[in-house]
């Protein structure tokens, strides 16, 4: 499992990158608005994120266009920011059509707001490089987000979609809308390729009371040795 950071906050991204565990970044309009981002600085901000994480880390930047032509136009613009930009496109008819065009042009797409196996199958067939099912938002409506995402991971793994993707790359499922370290545990057990996590969750993933107690007792005992 690889870890992406689900944020537009450059400080968080730089901090997580310094830990040596960051494999990518996902943003969305809400996350960009949360850091006080403005429209005229959006592309420059995505460039700053790309520069911060380096060329091997995919950075998802989302279009808010609603027609296929506009999504394709946005997708081309976003992809031109840096080679590691992945265009985030919502799961909808216009998004599928635009994804096919973008993938045929060699532009990678992360199909987002994916909630069901049929949606995921269509996303995969449209040429999406990544599929992002949301866990927490399923939980929010009293459904089992983990179970839904596990079904998507299993279904995507049943088929070879490499004929549809850019350069025949393997499709990866990004478990998104992750709200806790326990969600990460479940995603790892189900075999999700990627978990995109808020920085708060990443910090919690490192910690365990027994780890902290163990460090403290080792340090205390080392004092006796000295
Ligand atoms: O990557 C999508 C994710 O940011 C959504 O998370 O917590 O807003 O449902 P959340």
User: Mean pLDDT across the chain, nearest whole number?
Assistant: 97
Q: What does pTM read for this prediction?
A: 0.96
Tell me how far the alpha carbon of residue 32 lies from the centroid of ligand 1, in angstroms: 12
Per-residue confidence band for 157, with pLDDT thresholds at 50, 70 and 90: very high
Active site includes 88? yes
Place of tokens 């592309």: 43
Tell me how far the alpha carbon of residue 138 lies from the centroid of ligand 1, in angstroms: 11
d(CA 97, CA 129) in angstroms, rounded, equals: 14
| pLDDT tens string 47-104 | 999 999 999 999 999 999 999 999 999 999 999 999 999 999 999 999 999 999 999 9
Tell me how far the alpha carbon of residue 177 lies from the centroid of ligand 1, in angstroms: 4
Helices (H), 1-116: 10-18, 29-34, 42-53, 68-79, 93-104
d(CA 60, CA 84) in angstroms, rounded, equals: 8
- What residues line ligand 1, using a CB cutoff of 6 Å? 6, 26, 28, 132, 134, 136-137, 176-177, 196
- Tokens representing 95 are 């998004």
| pLDDT tens string 6-63 | 999 999 999 999 999 999 999 999 999 999 999 999 999 999 999 999 999 999 999 9
Mutation to probe ligand 1, out of 86, 174, 176, 179 (largest number of atoms < 8 A from CB): 176
d(CA 178, CA 65) in angstroms, rounded, equals: 25
What is the predicted pLDDT for the residue at 71?
98
Q: Which residues of 131-151 are buried (b: 16+ CB within 10 A; e: fewer)?
A: bbbbbeebbeeeeebbebbbe
């Amino acid at each position: 499992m690889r870890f992406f950071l689900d944020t537009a906050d450059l400080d968080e991204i730089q901090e997580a990158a310094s830990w040596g565990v960051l494999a990518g970044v996902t943003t969305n309009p809400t996350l960009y608005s949360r850091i006080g981002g403005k429209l005229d600085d959006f592309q420059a901000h995505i460039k700053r994120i790309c520069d911060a994480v380096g060329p091997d880390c995919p950075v998802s930047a989302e279009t808010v266009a609603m027609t296929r032509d506009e999504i394709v136009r946005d997708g081309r613009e976003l992809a031109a920011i840096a080679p590691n930009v992945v265009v985030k496109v919502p799961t909808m008819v216009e998004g599928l059509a635009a994804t096919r065009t973008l993938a045929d042009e060699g532009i990678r797409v992360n199909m987002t707001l994916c909630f069901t196996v049929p949606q995921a199958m269509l996303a995969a067939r449209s040429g999406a490089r990544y599929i992002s099912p949301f866990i927490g938002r399923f939980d929010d409506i009293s459904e089992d987000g983990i179970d839904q995402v596990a079904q998507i991971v299993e279904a995507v793994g049943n088929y070879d979609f490499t004929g549809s993707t850019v350069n025949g790359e393997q499709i990866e499922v990004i478990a998104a809308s992750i709200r806790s370290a326990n969600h990460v545990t479940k995603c790892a057990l189900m075999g999700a390729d990627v978990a995109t996590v808020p920085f708060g969750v990443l910090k919690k993933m490192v910690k365990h009371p027994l780890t902290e107690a163990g460090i403290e007792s080792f340090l205390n005992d080392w004092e006796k040795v000295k």
